[in-house]
Amino acid sequence: MKKILYISILMLLVTGCQSQKKIVSVNKETNQFSMRKGQYCEIMFRTNASTGFWWQLVNEDEITIVESAGDRYESDAPKGMVGASSNRYWKFHAKERGTQTLKFVYARDNQQEAIRTREVTITVK
């Protein structure tokens, strides 16, 4: 009986791992990456929202080959530390073939002028 249980659990784990979507990484030197339809990617920026500036995706409405699958912040600073930087992650799901550019700016919410910009080119195969 235990043998059947262990084999069943093993089969579930193998099946679950095969059905999970792969996470691809952005080449930081070229700001480009390619992925296959159905895959997920995560793009990360260092940010410090306590300064009033943070990274923002400014052309999300124009992007058709990927869709946003959420965003999150993670900090490696000690709990309660004020003014520490953190990482902001955007997750995208590839839904159509093609090539497009995501445009990010490091700015305050109500200001037009960004102090930094970054473009990331995505190719979905």
| Residue 83 covered by a domain | yes
Helix, strand, or coil (residue 8): helix
Residue 103 falls inside a structural domain: yes
Looking at the structure of the chain, the number of domains it has is: 1
The two tokens of residue 23 are 């996470």
DSSP for 55-103?
Answer: EEES-GGG--SEEEEEEEEE--SPTT-TT--EEEEEEEEE-SSEEEEEE
45 in any annotated domain: yes
Asked if residue 15 belongs to a domain, the reply is no
95 found inside a domain: yes
pLDDT tens for each residue of 4-50? 433 444 443 333 333 345 555 566 778 888 889 999 888 888 888 77
- Domain encompassing residue 77: 22-124
pTM of the model: 0.72
pLDDT of residue 77: 79
Quick check: 17 and 106 in contact, CB under 8 A?
A: no
- Domain membership of residue 11 (yes or no) is no
Task: Classify residue 89: in a domain, yes or no.
Answer: yes
CATH number at residue 106: 2.60.40.2020
Average pLDDT, the chain: 78
12 inside domain: no
Residue 32 DSSP symbol: E
